[in-house]
Amino acid sequence: MLLLILLLVILTSGCQDQNNVFPTVERDENIPAVISKRNPETEKLHFFFTPDVSVPPEETLLDQVSGIWVSRKSGDMWGKPQRVWLQKPDVLALDGAVTIQGNEMWFASAREGYVGVSMFTAEWMDDRYTMGICG
C-alpha cells in the first residue's frame, strides 16, 4: 500500500523542474554580422529546398529538385528562386546546409565519390560558383 501511495505521489508531482525557466534568446543578436544566408551586398537569399521532407535522403538525392536555391531581391520584391548547381546534374549530389560569407559559400553535401556528408566551399566568380573542398 505504501508503495502504491509513493508511486502516485511521484506520478502526480510531474517530471518538470518548475524552477528551470528558459531565457528568451534573440537569434539575430547571436549570429556574427559576416555570416548570413542573405547577402545584403548582393541581395541574394540562399536556402535549401526539398518538396517533401518525409522522403528519405537516398530518394531525395534523385529528384533533381532538392538542393540549394537562390532568390535575388530587386527593389522590394524577391525574384523566382533558381537552383544552384554545384555538381553536374548527371552526378549524384545532395547539397544543403548553406551559409554565405562574402563571395564564399560553405555547404554540406552527400555526393558521389565521398563517404557520408562532407563540407565543401564554392566561390562566386564570373556569375557562377566554382567548387572547392574543405579538408
Return the domain boundaries, the chain: 31-133
Average pLDDT over residues 67-71: 89
107 — pLDDT class (breaks 50, 70, 90): very high
The reported pTM is 0.65
C-alpha cell belonging to residue 36: 548570413
Average pLDDT over residues 81-106: 86
What are the φ/ψ torsions at residue 7 (nearest 5 degrees)? -65, -45
Average pLDDT over residues 65-78: 87
Min mean pLDDT across 2-6, 14-18, 117-121 is at 14-18
106, 124 contact by CB (below 8 A): no
Greater model confidence, 125 or 41: 125
